[in-house]
Structure 1
Amino acid sequence: MKNLIKPLLFVFVAVLFVQCGNGRYNIAKGKVGKLTTKTTVKELEQIFAKDSIVKILSEGAKGDNYFQDDDEYLIYEKGGKHLLTVVPKEQLDETSTLKSIQIFDERYKTESGLNINSTFGQINANNKISKVESSFSSATLFIDDLNTTITIDKEELGLKEFNMQKVSLEQIPDLAKVKSFIVWFN
């Protein structure tokens, strides 16, 4: 019995580490890694203490630029790899919760395996796409179950860029690659 306790304890601790490690990169509705709908801008420093944060701040209400950009917090690993771009709901407010998170690292993925490197075929097979919207240069897929949008370049669809031609799911090739992957917290 005594000989059995050590191996079982080792297995338990190993499983615990694997579970905790994977949680850092899980995407679900209202959750990206350790970020949730309740996370504030102020908490980003603590959550990403081992990473680097580049802040691109707007002028807020005090600025005279009518076309004001949102604040952006670019999260990088210490090695320089871009992980996420976080946009808060309110500009220049550390108590603001988060509006959106753009995914740049393939380790961030959903339970079904959806990540920035997924193809349209993988996305369509494992997720319910509620609608497709076209812009001049891309098609945006809306996945309501996860509150995400995924953008695919029109070039990947074999369509000319800079036209507003509507795109249907049937027109998108299975091998079309993701251009951007954003999780919304609204």
Structure 2
Amino acid sequence: MKFSYTFLLILSCCILMNCAGEQKNDFQISGDQVGKLTKQSLARDIDLIFEKDSVVQDTVKLNFGSGASKIKIYERGGLLLLTLTPNTDSIATIQNIQINDSRFITEKGISKESTFKEIKDKYPIKKIITSLNNVVVLLKNSDLYFTIDKKELPESLRYNANSKIEEVQIPDNAKVKYMMIGWD
């Protein structure tokens, strides 16, 4: 009798540890993977990949056969996890991913809640692109990139879209507006 209780206890612990590991992997970002999604995932399989979540697509575009322009993945509780943009190939894969949930985290511990200092301490910066309202930070050897609102910059840099902004000009405490992945 004691053996069966011990066996049940060990089996329960193993199941719980497996579930915890699966949950962690659901929010892990690595080179070719974002949670359950891989670089090779087909857009048509999104409903299967996120079967436990809610997938919202543009039904007007789907009815005309041109594919969804954006696919939003919501957790069952209603929290937006990811916004996906498929490419326009005949066999569409995911081209861009916007990380909407701060539980998604890179192998080096970066999430959408990270500051510019945390990013530059963990990843080498390849290039900084200035737009009208934002600054886009591209990383070396990575498909991951970040958008920082110009409101996070010193006032002298906010209003000139043509100015070239250098890494040293971005404050360490600048918050990330968007965390994105661009797959070719």
Give the aligned partner of residue 173 of structure 2. Answer: 175
- Rounded Cα–Cα distance in structure 1 between residues aligned with 2:149 and 2:57: 27
Is the CA contact 1:30–1:184 (under 8 Å) kept in the aligned structure 2? no
Find the residue that maps to 2:16 and give its secondary structure.
helix
Which structure 1 residue ranges, 4+ long, deviate > 3 Å from structure 2? Answer: 2-14, 57-60
Native 8 Å contact 1:130 1:144 kept in 2: yes
C-alpha distance in 2 between matches for 1:100 and 1:163: 24
> How many residues are treated as equivalent by the alignment?
176
1: distance between equivalents of 2:134 and 2:37?
28
State the partner residue of 1:76: 74
TM-score, normalised on structure 2? 0.84
Q: Percent identity?
A: 31
Q: 1:146 to 1:10 in 2, by over 3 A?
A: farther
Take 2:132 and 2:80, find their aligned partners in 1: how far apart are those partners?
27
**How high is the TM-score relative to the length of structure 1?**
0.83
State the Cα distance separating 1:120 from its structure 2 match. Answer: 0.5
Q: Is the 8 A contact 2:83 2:98 kept in 1?
A: yes
The runs of 5 or more residues in structure 1 that have no matched partner are 63-69
Contact residue 85 and residue 96 of structure 2 kept, 8 A: yes
Residue pairs, 1:1-186, within 5 angstroms: 8-56=10-58, 71-90=69-88, 95-158=91-154, 159-186=157-184
The whole-number CA distance in structure 2 between the counterparts of 1:162 and 1:72 is 31
Going by fraction, where is helix more abundant, 1 or 2?
2
Quick one: higher RCO (CA 8 Å, sep 6+), 1 or 2? 1
